[in-house]
Structure formats: C-alpha cells, structure tokens
Amino acid sequence: MHTRYFQFAHLRNLFAPRKPRSPLLRVALGLLGLAILAVLVVAGVFVGAAMILIGLVWKLLAARKARKAPGNVMDGEYRVVRKPALPGTH
C-alpha cells in the first residue's frame, strides 16, 4: 500500500504570479506597479498630514481656560533652601 503525501508545491504554483513573456508587457506592468505604489505613498502622506492637522485644531479648540480653585485650596510659592542656610545647622 502506498501512502500519498500532499504536495504543497502544486498549491503554491496555483497562486504564484506569472510573469508575461513579452518584454514590453513586463516593462508596462512594472511601470503600472510603480505608479500604483506612488499613488499609495502620496495618499498616505496626505492622510497623515490631515490627521496631524485635525489633532492640532482639536487641541486648539478644546483648550481649557484656567478654572478658579476651590475655596479650600491654598496657593503658594516655594523656594528650595540649602542645608547650610537653615538656622541651627552646622
């Protein structure tokens, strides 16, 4: 009894792109591929720029104004004092 194994090479060849034999057609398809790639790159740049612009406009329009602090909050200014400047230290 013979055991048959599935040959993956047949499946791979089923979906493999086939290059045309005509050199002129090869060049034309190569140029078409480059044109499609260029269009996708330019579209990506415009989409990215639009996202950045929308984010900046959103930040500017949604900027919060300074709110008044509640009555139980104490505001103050602080200064760092070095150890030798403190009284009673040697």
Among residues 9, 56, 60, which one has the least CA distance to residue 48? 56
Domain locations along the chain: 19-61
Structure confidence by residue, pLDDT tens digits, 15-72: 777 788 899 999 999 999 999 999 999 999 999 999 999 999 999 888 777 777 778 8
- 66 residue type, one letter: A
| pLDDT score recorded for residue 14 | 76
Is pTM beyond 0.85 here?
A: no
- 73 residue type, one letter: V
Q: Which two tokens stand for residue 4?
A: 């048959």
- 25 residue type, one letter: L
Q: Helices (H) and strands (E) in the chain — how many of each? A: 2, 0
